[in-house]
Amino acid sequence: MLSHSQSSYSLEEISSEDLGAVGFERISSANDSLPLYKKTIWLKILLKYRDLLQGHLYDLGCGESPYKDYFLQQAEQYIGVDWQGSPHKTQETLLADLNENLPIGDNVADTVVSLSVLEHLYNPQSMVDEAFRILNSNGHLVMQMPWQWTIHEAPHDYSRYTPFALTRFLENAGFVDIHIEAQAGFFTTMILKWNYFTARFVSKNKIHHKFFKLCLLPFWYFGQKLAPHLDKLDKNWSAETIGFFVTARKP
């Protein structure tokens, strides 16, 4: 059930063909340089699951919909759902609180995607149950959530979940074929935390910004090149992951 992903987040390991195919410009322009590393890990795993992204796709907690163009290369229709309490410039089609029942009919979705959202819900089982209700038979849920990440979007940051808790949520809802994949190991997690931490000290002032960025770039770059190789040395690497990707099917 819990598998070790061979994915890495190095930009160079994704072919330019793949990047073109997923509208990489759109994704990279949605974020500054550090979030780009993060988005690249997400992107590579999303590429792996591209066959699950079909038909009427609902993106629960869509935020700024950074993957909309990519999803629409596979799916026919994209419906973003977010709420009024968001700190983002959300691009939702529908405003709804994911802690509650959704104003969406039964069996209308072919795919439900929810990336970096479950940790923000005080009632996570409700979202998983609602995803199950709105999915068609044989439709898939694709989720991602952090395991080791800083508190963010406070005060709406409630939990981090182990694969065992996630499995319970999904089984309770009725999902089958549950697959949970660790996104990266200890070294990648540490490097990403270091990158994000140091990025906070890059001043908004343009000259300082350039200077600090130049000093930090080699660390960011070599860190991200080296970390995936070091990850492989740790046999228990999925326990130290930055987050999990989850897929499950409605029977």
- Which residues of the chain form contacts with ligand SAM (CB under 6 A)? 61-63, 66, 82-83, 86, 88, 90, 97-99, 115-117, 120-121, 153, 156
Task: Specify the residue, 151 or 176, whose C-beta has the smaller distance to ligand SAM.
Answer: 151
Task: Specify the residue, 39 or 250, whose C-beta has the smaller distance to ligand SAM.
Answer: 39
Using CA atoms, how far apart are residues 81 and 95, in angstroms rounded to an integer? 6
Task: Specify the residue, 119 or 187, whose C-beta has the smaller distance to ligand SAM.
Answer: 119
Least distance in angstroms from the C-beta of 71 to ligand SAM: 11
CA 4 to the chain's CA centroid:
17
Instruction: Tabulate helix, strand, coil % of the chain (nearest 5).
Output: 45, 20, 35
Task: Specify the residue, 116 or 189, whose C-beta has the smaller distance to ligand SAM.
Answer: 116
Using CA atoms, how far apart are residues 105 and 81, in angstroms rounded to an integer? 14
Structure tokens at 95: 């405003």
Least distance in angstroms from the C-beta of 242 to ligand SAM: 14
Q: What are phi and psi of 165, to 5 degrees?
A: -65, -40
Least distance in angstroms from the C-beta of 82 to ligand SAM: 5
Local structure of 23: helix, strand or coil: coil
Task: Specify the residue, 86 or 148, whose C-beta has the smaller distance to ligand SAM.
Answer: 86
Least distance in angstroms from the C-beta of 226 to ligand SAM: 26
Question: Apex CA 176: angle with CA 68 and CA 48, to 5°?
Answer: 40
Least distance in angstroms from the C-beta of 59 to ligand SAM: 7
| End-to-end CA gap in the chain | 18
